[in-house]
Chain A
Amino acid sequence: MTAVNVYQQRPNGAARAESPLYHAGLDELAGKGSPQAGVRLREKKLLGHLVLRGNAKDPAFAAGVHRALGLELPVALTLVARGETSLQWLGPDEWLLIVPSGEEFAAEQRLREALVGQHISVVNVSGGQTLLELSGPKAREVLMKSTPYDVHPLNFPVGKAVGSTFAKTQLVIRHVSEDTWELLVRRSFADYVWLWLQDASAEFGLAIQA
């Protein structure tokens, strides 16, 4: 094991955890939208986000990641998932691992154990970003209004994930299933994206899901 100080960052019980969109009161808005709404929005809040860096060309690195997570390292612009756990390519030497709430500490330890001795980095960024799930028949139209990237299924199939500009900010768009997209939003931009999505989806009708 290395000299890196790995510790449990998630508060247990006593301290209240607030997601980046806590102030928006999404839980209270949930279920109040029209059932025919063209766009549905859900915050997948307080998940465990880990940024993993290492040498993709090193077979020992890929093998270690597979041993720790049971997932293959995804190639450029893709995302692999198993259950609630997903591993996404962010750059040629950088990946994002998203695990269910509370599992990030164990996942980080497993990764460090499997990659011991290698030139790698694992950083817990759970508090710095959040995931918004956009679904419904008009979700793609909202994306078309927001980003210069071509979100047509021919160019953006399920399993692809790209970083691009979005409205006046930047975020990562992940295509998880046919009508479902995820937006990876930085904490300080969460409010702006939330306001933008409300405005952009007003013409289609927006329903919040818990």
Chain B
Amino acid sequence: MLHIFCPHCGEQRSEEEFHAKGQAHIARPLDPDACTDEEWGEYMFFRDNPRGLHHELWVHSAGCRKYFNVTRHTVTYEILETYKIGERPGVSEKKAVEQGVPA
């Protein structure tokens, strides 16, 4: 059982209170009508599946019921940080390697 820090509640909570909601930071095209089918399909259906760091959207469904972002390592399942929607991740691939997280 993991403990996940909810940035809205401001404390560590049990994993079972949360749900993962897939990849984070997916920008909706500003003008969907001007998109080609390929561009719209990319936005709609195609997601990264990295081996390593992944920025994800999670929801604290049993607590404050708000969404937030999580930077998680997909091999070790280690959660490196959580941050609110609208903020930028503090941990990137390069930084993590420098800090000794296995790639």
Cβ contact of A149, chosen from B13, B61, B64, cutoff 8 A: B13
| CB-based contact A76/B62 at 8 Å | no
Distance in angstroms between the alpha carbons of A76 and B84 in the assembled complex:
15
Distance in angstroms between the alpha carbons of A164 and B12 in the assembled complex:
12
| CB-based contact B8/A163 at 8 Å | no
| CB-based contact A77/B9 at 8 Å | yes
| CB-based contact A91/B13 at 8 Å | no
Distance in angstroms between the alpha carbons of A149 and B17 in the assembled complex:
10
| CB-based contact B16/A163 at 8 Å | no
Q: Separation in Å of the B2 CB from the closest CB of chain A?
A: 11
Q: Separation in Å of the A150 CB from the closest CB of chain B?
A: 9
List the B residue with the shortest CB-CB distance to A149: B14
Q: Separation in Å of the B64 CB from the closest CB of chain A?
A: 4
| CB-based contact B17/A90 at 8 Å | no
Residues of B in contact, count (CB < 8 Å): 15
Q: Name the interface residues of B1-38: CB closer than 8 Å to any CB of A.
A: 1, 8-11, 13-14, 16-17
Chief secondary structure at chain B's binding surface: loop
A165 at the interface (CB under 8 A from B): yes
A162 at the interface (CB under 8 A from B): yes
Distance in angstroms between the alpha carbons of A76 and B14 in the assembled complex:
17
* Contact status of A164 and B17, CB under 8 A, knowing A91-B65, A92-B66: yes
Residues of B within 8 A of A165 (CB): 14, 16-17, 62
Residues of A within 8 A of B90 (CB): none
List the B residue with the shortest CB-CB distance to A75: B10
Q: Name the interface residues of A142-168: CB closer than 8 Å to any CB of B.
A: 148-149, 162-165
Residues of A in contact, count (CB < 8 Å): 13
| CB-based contact B10/A163 at 8 Å | no
Distance in angstroms between the alpha carbons of A148 and B66 in the assembled complex:
19
Q: Name the interface residues of A44-100: CB closer than 8 Å to any CB of B.
A: 76-77, 90-92, 94
Q: Name the interface residues of B50-74: CB closer than 8 Å to any CB of A.
A: 61-66
Residue contacts A-B, CB under 8 angstroms, 30 given:
A76-B9, A76-B10, A77-B9, A77-B10, A77-B11, A90-B64, A91-B65, A91-B66, A92-B8, A92-B64, A92-B66, A94-B64, A148-B1, A148-B14, A148-B16, A148-B17, A149-B13, A149-B14, A162-B63, A163-B62, A163-B63, A163-B64, A163-B65, A164-B13, A164-B62, A165-B14, A165-B16, A165-B17, A170-B61, A170-B62
- A interface residues (Cβ-Cβ under 8 A, vs B): 76-77, 90-92, 94, 148-149, 162-165, 170
Q: A77-B11, A163-B63, A163-B64 are in contact. List 17 more A-B contacts (CB 8 A).
A: A76-B9, A76-B10, A77-B10, A90-B64, A91-B8, A91-B64, A91-B65, A92-B66, A94-B64, A148-B1, A148-B16, A148-B17, A149-B13, A149-B14, A164-B13, A164-B63, A170-B61
Q: Top 8 nearest A-B pairs by Cβ distance? A: A148-B14, A91-B64, A170-B62, A163-B63, A165-B62, A92-B8, A91-B66, A165-B16
